[in-house]
Structure 1
Amino acid sequence: MRAIWNGRVLAETERTKTVEGNHYFPPESVNLDYFTKSRTRTLCPWKGLANYYTVTVDGNVNPDAAWYYPHPSPLARRIKNHVAFWNGVTIEGEPEQEPKKR
């Protein structure tokens, strides 16, 4: 799975966590060279308070193109610090399936 914007790979991993149709990338899979923290915050009734990143590639700026939950609610703890994208960022690839629990 890859998150791409302006011809650059912003994040890449074998497995994302999908919530409400959004792919959340593990924090270690994100190339922070393209990210700056934003002051924007939004509140999801069940996930909690989201923080945002602005993405910059080759001088092109995509404000608040990525978000994450540093302190999610207990219901969303599996996406803590995972990064999701929107606003023109393309998600490519087929996610690897998680092993089935027995």
Structure 2
Amino acid sequence: MKAIWNGQVIAESDDTVVIENNHYFPADSIKKEFFSDSTTHTTCPWKGLASYYNVEVDGQTNADAAWFYPETSHAAKPIEGRVAFWKGVQVTEN
């Protein structure tokens, strides 16, 4: 799977976990040069507290376009530390 935004591949992995129609990529599969920490946090009733990244490509910023759960509830352990995308980030098969 590939995550693409603004014409740039920002993550790529053959090992994604799909939860609620979102592909969660391993943390080491994201291209860190395109990510910066966000101060945004949200809470999912069954997964836990989510943190966000801004995605930056060619001088453009897509705020909070990636999220992850640093620590999950027991039910969501398969996605702990993995990164998922939204806000126009295209996730496609290789």
Instruction: Give the TM-score of the pair, scaled to structure 2.
Output: 0.97
Query: In 1, Cα distance between the equivalents of 2:29 and 2:84?
Result: 12
User: For residues 10-31 of structure 1, what are the alpha-carbon distances to aligned partners after superposition, in whole Å with 9 as ceiling and x for unaligned?
Assistant: 1000121000000000011110
Question: Going by fraction, where is strand more abundant, 1 or 2?
Answer: 2
CA RMSD of superposed structures (Å): 0.8
Per the alignment, residue 21 of structure 1 pairs with 21
Larger radius of gyration: 1
Unaligned runs of 5+ in 2: none
Matches within 5 A, 1:1-102: 1-93=1-93
* Percent identity for Structure 1 against Structure 2: 53
SS in 1 for 2:77: helix
| Runs of 4+ residues over 4 Å off in structure 1 | none
User: For residues 12-61 of structure 1, what are the alpha-carbon distances to aligned partners after superposition, in whole Å with 9 as ceiling and x for unaligned?
Assistant: 00121000000000011110100000000000000000000000001000
SS in 2 for 1:4: strand
Read off the aligned partner of 1:64 and give its amino acid letter: D
Instruction: Give the TM-score of the pair, scaled to structure 1.
Output: 0.90
Unaligned runs of 5+ in 1: 95-102
